[in-house]
Chain A
Amino acid sequence: MNLKFVSAHAWLTGGAALRSNWLYMITGMGFPLSLLFVVGVLSKGAFLPYALAGGLISIVATNGIFTMADLGMFKFEYMFKDLIVSTRTSPMDYMFGVMLADFFWSIPSIVLYFILDMIFHILTPYAFVMTLIVASLVLLSTASLGFVLTSLVKHQRFVWAITGMLSLVMMIFPPTFYPYTYLPHPILLILTISPTTPAAVLEQGFFGLAPTLWYMLYILIAETVILFLLARYATVWRER
């Protein structure tokens, strides 16, 4: 693995670029915070803890969707992918570089959510550690999905269409902002097609808001492994 590239990409297009493009950081916060506000108002505060727990997953999933949008921009707008195919960089280096760069952009939102979790007294050390594990799995699975899809599309306009659909499937339908117990079990199982569903269910358990369904962890791990292997082996790098 070309760690020099992974770290350089993560820092130069993420951490360093963040300073001169801080408006995008606020954009990244916008969607999860808006939903948090709407859910909080409509439920008269009843669902706020659920939205705070699931909001973290939502931010990480947004990060994954941004990764796909960025990969599209790099491929079609900057021709950056064409530029680095002819270097020592592998597809996995590239994916990790873009994924970690976008993660830099999410850090302020994640910190804000953890602060809100503390303010509302739902964050425990256990929930914090488990959240990091679950969030890492969501980050890897959504970025892998974005990577495979971007390698297959032929134009940036398809990237926008797909990211729009992914936002629906990953953030609106799954129980990231409401109790998973409201869903009939078969529907919950259908919704596990998105990694954010098992992640949100687990989060509600870790935060003590609902029973922990441990089999959701196995589903999340399986999805992450499958999507990562797809990204590893199904990505079109040297075209035919």
Chain B
Amino acid sequence: MIEVKALSKRYHDGTVALNNVSFRLDKKISAIIGRNGAGKTTLMRILSTQIMPTSGTARINGIDVIGEPNRIRKMAVSIPQEAKPIDYMPAMDCVKLYLAARGFGRKEATARAEKALRTVGLGNDMRKLAYELSGGMKRKVFVAMAIASDADIIFLDEPTTGLDPFSRVEVWSAIRAIKGQVILTTHYMEEAQALSDDVLMMEAGKIFAHNTVDRLLRPFDGLVRVESQRRNRRAYRVGSTWISYVKKGRAKSMVGKGDVIKPVTLDDLFIKRGVNLES
């Protein structure tokens, strides 16, 4: 379980990345979503002992993240955003090296790495050099590290950014195979919806919503999203598109030529706040 109280982070250049954030995460998979610069990565880096916060407290399973980093490092795995396997090494060796960093001996690291790589579907590719692997396979190498570590807490920072839809679904399957508590950041709403038991929504260093996907979407019950290029004073504007929410039954009768009807997603919580997630 992760408990965060009044956590803030101000960088040397004055940027406030986190502003008095408090929450508790105790579900199997939690997603932290928000647009770029919302503070997701800073939060993950603080929780995984990579950087110090400016103020506030954070505890993982009762252990102080700020004061006892070495105890946290034994129980938590953190896979950074944009991490790449060392490209001149086989996938197998990349996982073994990570396990050695976590204190596993050669024999155990080899056995665990092999098993984890099979679990994520890289059984036939584990001897390939990392540069020979596709983008999805490379991300799966990191998920294999998390699985093989058998850690209590796993932080995955944007694990599928830049992957094609097929690879993303493959990585999702691999993430579901992780035994410990998973905290992942993403700006793909369907990823949060597909994987997570609860969702933390961030914007400008603050949390503005925290609940299960169903509860977060409850205000939109019975509604669909209508995207139109025509100006509409009662709609939300995102770029040159006007977005409104109408009852499912009335949608077809209300839409004009070129309008698009879509199901409501977590995106819409941001849209209603005037936040363009793609920006």
A residues whose Cβ falls under 8 Å from a Cβ of B: 2, 4-5, 7-9, 12-13, 16-17, 20-21, 74, 77-80, 82-89, 238-240
Judged by DSSP, the binding face of A is: helix
B74 within 8 A of A: yes
Distance to closest chain B CB from A29 (angstroms): 18
15 additional A-B residue pairs with CB within 8 Å, beyond A78-B86, A86-B50:
A4-B103, A4-B105, A8-B96, A13-B86, A74-B86, A77-B84, A80-B86, A83-B79, A83-B80, A85-B49, A85-B50, A87-B103, A88-B73, A88-B74, A238-B52
Number of A-B contacts (CB under 8 A): 98
Interface string of B198-217 (1 = CB under 8 A from A): 00000000000000000000
B221 within 8 A of A: no
In the complex, which range does the number of interface residues on chain B fall in? 35 or more
Give the contacting residue for B102; candidates A13, A77, A88; CB below 8 A: A88
Q: List 6 A-B contacts (CB under 8 A).
A: A4-B100, A12-B96, A16-B89, A17-B89, A88-B101, A239-B51
Q: Is the CB of B76 within 8 A of A20?
A: no
Closest to B100 in A: A8
Question: Chain A residues with Cβ under 8 A from B109's Cβ?
Answer: 8
Question: Chain B residues with Cβ under 8 A from A80's Cβ?
Answer: 83, 86
Distance to closest chain A CB from B241 (angstroms): 35
Which 9 A-B pairs give the minimum distances between C-beta atoms? A8-B100, A79-B83, A82-B80, A86-B78, A87-B101, A86-B48, A239-B51, A89-B101, A79-B80
Question: Chain A residues with Cβ under 8 A from B72's Cβ?
Answer: 86
Q: Is the CB of A2 within 8 A of B103?
A: yes
Give the contacting residue for B104; candidates A4, A17, A86; CB below 8 A: A4
Cα distance, A21 to B90, chains bound together (Å):
12
Q: Is the CB of B101 within 8 A of A5?
A: yes
Distance to closest chain B CB from A43 (angstroms): 38
Q: Is the CB of B106 within 8 A of A8?
A: yes
Q: Is the CB of B83 within 8 A of A83?
A: yes
Question: Chain B residues with Cβ under 8 A from A12's Cβ?
Answer: 89, 93, 96-97
Q: Is the CB of B97 within 8 A of A86?
A: no
Question: Chain A residues with Cβ under 8 A from B69's Cβ?
Answer: 238
- Among residues 89 to 146 in chain B, which have CB atoms less than 8 Å away from a CB atom of chain A? 89, 93, 96-98, 100-106, 109, 129
Interface string of B9-52 (1 = CB under 8 A from A): 00000000000000000000000000000000000010011111
B182 within 8 A of A: no
Q: Is the CB of A87 within 8 A of B86?
A: no
Which of B50, B70, B77, B101 has the most A CB atoms < 10 Å from its CB? B101
Q: Is the CB of A9 within 8 A of B100?
A: yes
Give the contacting residue for B82; candidates A79, A84, A86; CB below 8 A: A79
Give the contacting residue for A84; candidates B81, B87, B101; CB below 8 A: B101
Closest to A237 in B: B50
